[in-house]
A and B are shown apart, each in its own frame.
Chain A
Amino acid sequence: MLTDRELERYRRQIAFFGEEAQERLANARVVIVGAGGLGCPVALYLAAAGVGEVRLVDGDVVDLTNLNRQVLHGDRDVGRAKVESAAEKLRAQNPEITVVAIRATLDEENAALLVDGADLIVDATDNFAARYILNRVALGARVPLIHGAVRGFDGQATTIIPGRTACLECIFPVAPPGEDVIPVVGTTPGIIGLVQANEAIKYITGTGDLLADRLLVWDGRAATMTTLPVNRQKDCGACGIDRHSRR
């Protein structure tokens, strides 16, 4: 049951999708992997929307070069763990929710534990090695994964429903090359992060159409957003039905 204070706090969105949807948000547990350019806006808007548990996972500390885009961190946070810096702002934004800060770098060994109990996983990582691990963990646990990635003025996002839609490896069987420094204009992860947060809110409340089997592509230079159809691949190494029976 929502308290009077919660009913008031979320009044504008309850007016749109109703109290039951708000209760679903309050009962939801969302894990956000990465507290950087994407993770900051995703976490801030999910906290503001009243998602009951926001679990943040990141092993890094705040660096001065992060501040053009990682908007939960400020000048005085340089040198602090990103998850601590972010959690402080989220708790101040909304004391009604639980914010869990886990300072860890996701890897093969710890991934399942880090996302344990989640209703939804948000990919706010900055590399495909971590994304492929997250994809497999999400498939194994049958928990939806909301993917986002950015570079420069360009971004992409999609929502993966295990067993139903294309998974990350169906869509991106080969990772784009890594770069020492990926250039990013701060607004790009802001836009893609909010697309991801929007997907999370829709999934939890059962509202609208998800980016299921659709890859959203944002071109900030042209200010255009397009969706490209994607589909499940039978021979996908992560989710394909043929993957065990290859001869």
Chain B
Amino acid sequence: MQVRVRTFARLREAIGGDLMLEVPEGATMSRLLAAVGETSEQAGEALFEENGDLRAYVILMHNGRRVRRAEAGTRPLADGDEVALFPPVAGG
């Protein structure tokens, strides 16, 4: 199935834009995030800590709804879904 991934700020820089990713039927949000991380070294670094954990400040959204980090491992995705990844900025 295909899932659209919208990226923002530094993640967009690292990933190069939005993505359409092919993931197995019933894949979870975590599975999708791993697939995003595998698209390039920069993408992996932008999304994950060195120990492999998702960077805690990245905001995850699924079809316009906020998803908590703890839910990512169990949240199933469906064909045509949209996931947004937003890393907030801090300067002023």
A residues in contact (CB < 8 Å) with B: 34, 36-39, 123-128, 148-152, 154-156, 171-172, 174-179, 182, 184, 189, 215, 217, 219, 226, 228-231
* Distance of B57 from chain A, by nearest CB (Å): 4
Q: How far is the CA of A152 from the CA of B13 in the complex (A)?
A: 11
CB pair B8–A219 under 8 Å, yes or no, is yes
Set of chain B residues within 8 Å of A230, measured between Cβ atoms: 66
Set of chain A residues within 8 Å of B84, measured between Cβ atoms: 228
A174-B57, A228-B84 known; A182-B64 Cβ under 8 A: no
Set of chain A residues within 8 Å of B91, measured between Cβ atoms: 37, 126, 149-151, 182, 184, 189
Query: 11 A-B pairs, CB-CB below 8 angstroms?
Result: A124-B92, A151-B91, A152-B10, A155-B89, A174-B57, A176-B89, A217-B9, A226-B8, A228-B61, A228-B86, A229-B64
We find that the number of chain B residues with CB closer than 8 angstroms to chain A is 19
Question: Is B76 an interface position by the 8 A CB rule?
Answer: no
Q: How far is the CA of A213 from the CA of B56 in the complex (A)?
A: 21
Set of chain A residues within 8 Å of B86, measured between Cβ atoms: 215, 217, 228
- B10, B56, B61, B65: which contacts A174 (Cβ < 8 A)? B56
> Which of B66, B91, B92 lies at the interface centre, i.e. has the most chain A CB atoms within 10 A of its CB?
B92
Q: How far is the CA of A175 from the CA of B75 in the complex (A)?
A: 24
New A-B pairs, 10, CB < 8 Å, besides A154-B9, A217-B9, A219-B12 = A125-B92, A148-B92, A151-B10, A172-B57, A176-B57, A176-B90, A177-B57, A178-B90, A219-B9, A229-B65
Question: Is B37 an interface position by the 8 A CB rule?
Answer: no
- A36, A123, A217: which contacts B8 (Cβ < 8 A)? A217
The 4 closest A-B pairs by CB, nearest first: A126-B92, A151-B89, A182-B91, A154-B9
Q: How far is the CA of A191 from the CA of B64 in the complex (A)?
A: 25
Set of chain A residues within 8 Å of B88, measured between Cβ atoms: 149, 156, 172, 176
Set of chain B residues within 8 Å of A179, measured between Cβ atoms: 90
> Which residues in chain B, 62-92, are within 8 Å of chain A measured between CB atoms?
64-66, 84, 86-92
- A126, A176, A184, A231: which contacts B66 (Cβ < 8 A)? A231
* Distance of B17 from chain A, by nearest CB (Å): 9
CB pair A128–B90 under 8 Å, yes or no, is yes
* Distance of A18 from chain B, by nearest CB (Å): 33
Set of chain B residues within 8 Å of A229, measured between Cβ atoms: 61, 64-66
CB pair B90–A175 under 8 Å, yes or no, is yes
Q: How far is the CA of A217 from the CA of B12 in the complex (A)?
A: 12
Set of chain A residues within 8 Å of B8, measured between Cβ atoms: 154, 217, 219, 226
Set of chain A residues within 8 Å of B57, measured between Cβ atoms: 172, 174-177
The residue of chain B having its C-beta at the shortest distance from the C-beta of A123 within the complex is: B92
